[in-house]
Amino acid sequence: MLNISGTYKGTWSHRNGNFSSKFPVFQKSSGNIVFELTSSLTDIRGVHYVQGEVVLRDGVYISDGDLQMKMEGVYVWPFRQLRMVLSSAVDSEMNRGEVFIRSSPYHLVAQDTPRNYHRSKRKTSRIMEMGKMCKIQLVTQVSPRVPDYKREFAKGEHERQFCEMRGLVEGPSMHEDQGECFSPLVVNATSVNVELYYNKAVNYTLMVTFISFLQVLFLIRQMEHSNTQSGAAKVSLMMIGQQAIMDAYLCLLHLTAGILVGRGSYTITAWKRREEINQEESLFNTFATAAFFKFVVFSIFEMRYLLAIWKSRRPVSSGEGWETMRRELSVLYSRFYGFLLSGILIIYELHSMLRYILFLFYSFWIPQIVANVVRDSRKPLHPHYIVGITLTRLAIPLYAFACPNNFMRIEPNLGWCLGLTTFLGAQAAILLLQHFCGARCFIPRQLLLDDCVQLLPEKYSYFRRVIRANEHIERGEECTPIDCVICMAAVDVSQRCNDCMVTPCDHFFHTGCLQRWMDIKMECPTCRRPLPPM
């Protein structure tokens, strides 16, 4: 006697190439089929009551043309025959199988949940009409099957047998004179290799955990690179905030996936072996670990860096007392979590445009590029941070949309992946160009000389008074000596070189002294007034 409860996946095709039917359900001639069954004993010997749910995909991957219906019937195990009646009606008898269906990790994580197939009212009404006019039946022959990967390690009766089903899905009309509702479908399905599926999911979570650890290392390197007030002020607040929101979403996503997979351990029926329950618990632990690492990245490191950048831009507010700082901190946190919650609502409403939304999320380098041009900042980001974050951020979307055997069963789209990689790589290339060649190096010189440069704030020149001092000496007038208050040595303003710098508040310093001072504080050493970027 075979226990046929479980998840099955296979293919369907039109019988004898016949496409004519009253309800043209599918546009393609073949596709995938996924159905889940749960069986229970009856008072009749050799007969099991079976109920479940079936998904007929219009092709290989998930699409709007997929057909999802409930089914119930009997399995006569002496003859290895399964007979099911498909229906779109949701009654109390069918609801008994929802506990098993919703507990299956294959559907919950693989985006095959029933609600994905009820979003279109037009499709629902079509299924209801077809269910009223058609007698849709599934008739299959069940045979045991030992997977290839278990033949060498089979342990006799202790190993759970896998099943293979071959049969037809027929839809004759309830009225004999109206013919077929839709063309008969040939079905060939086998039990899902849950262990292989679990292994893929575990490998994915290990990859997420590893790249989260790398992101922490790169972020620490960047925080050490900009550990001064002036260095932190050059970093874009929006750039770090956008990455923190991305990591918060990934944390919620992996935690939700782990909970959905894990809840099957407590609601699944008695046919399931203890080893498989342990697999689900282990899978929940791996997803929870990946979510924890993402939580550490955004809540500890990125939020801490966000506060350091915010404080470096408000040195006056930091010295006005705790009440003022607490008020401005509340504004910062309210904006961050406001963007976080509003983003969740936008993604939920525009889930069909998820790939375009990802392009918006992966434009996180653009605020830093614009900030560099506007402020003419010098080396705000470490090159290792730019390259490392760019590569690690691409890992998850490339796995989901480029790997043909990903456990999420998302259709690969190499064109989209190439576009995302090019888009993010171009941003990283511009940042590296700004780091080694200057913040405005890619802007044409003619454009900087035109009136368009008025859109940018005027850059202050720290050598403006040197020219005037030289003219003053050429006229033969005496010039009082000026001392650099940093090194207490005299500043020679008569030399025609870059060894002398003057602040907007008319204080002279040696070039090296003032540059080292500005790496620590962006204020005048003499009068403590804020200094513009160099």
Q: What is the pLDDT of residue 159?
A: 42
Rounded CA separation 304/320 (Å): 21
361, 380 contact by CB (below 8 A): no
Asked whether the predicted pLDDT for residue 212 surpasses 70, the reply is yes
State CA 53 to chain mean position distance: 29
Residue indicated by tokens 């490339």: 398
In the predicted model, what is the mean pLDDT of the chain?
77
pLDDT of residue 180: 60
Burial tier of 48 (Cβ tally within 10 Å: 0-12, 13-18, 19+): buried
- pLDDT tens digits, 410-436: 888 999 999 999 999 999 999 999 999
Is the pLDDT at 94 greater than 50, yes or no?
no
Burial (Cβ within 10 Å: 0-12, 13-18, ≥19) of residue 492: middle
Q: Where are the alpha helices (DSSP H) in 350-413?
A: 354-361, 366-375, 383-402
The β-bridge relationship of strands 67-76 and 47-56 is antiparallel
Q: Which residue has the higher pLDDT, 497 or 302?
A: 302
- Rounded distance, CA 423 to CA 406, Å? 23
> Three-class SS of residue 298?
helix
Q: What is the pLDDT of residue 154?
A: 40
**Backbone dihedral region of 487: left (phi > 0), alpha (psi from -120 to 50 degrees) or beta?**
alpha
Dump pLDDT digits (tens) for 320-360. 566 777 787 788 888 888 998 999 999 888 888 888 999 99
What pLDDT, on a 0 to 100 scale, did the predictor assign at position 450?
54
pLDDT at 244 over 90: yes
Do 7 and 106 meet the contact criterion of CB atoms below 8 Å apart? Answer: yes
What is the tens place of the pLDDT at every residue in 2-55?
678 888 888 988 876 555 555 556 777 888 888 888 888 888 888 999 999 888
Overall average pLDDT of the 55-72 stretch: 79
Residue 26 and residue 28: Cα distance in Å, rounded? 6
The whole-number pLDDT of residue 149 equals 40
Q: Is the pTM of this model over 0.85?
A: no
Range among 62-76, 241-255, 307-321 with highest mean pLDDT value: 241-255
Lowest-pLDDT range of 168-172, 216-220, 384-388, 436-440: 168-172
Does residue 152 have a pLDDT over 50?
A: no
Domains belonging to the chain, first-starting first, are 6-89+120-146+161-192 (2.40.128.620), 196-437 (no CATH), 458-533 (3.30.40.10)
Spatial CB neighbours of 319, under 8 Å, sequence gap ≥ 6: none
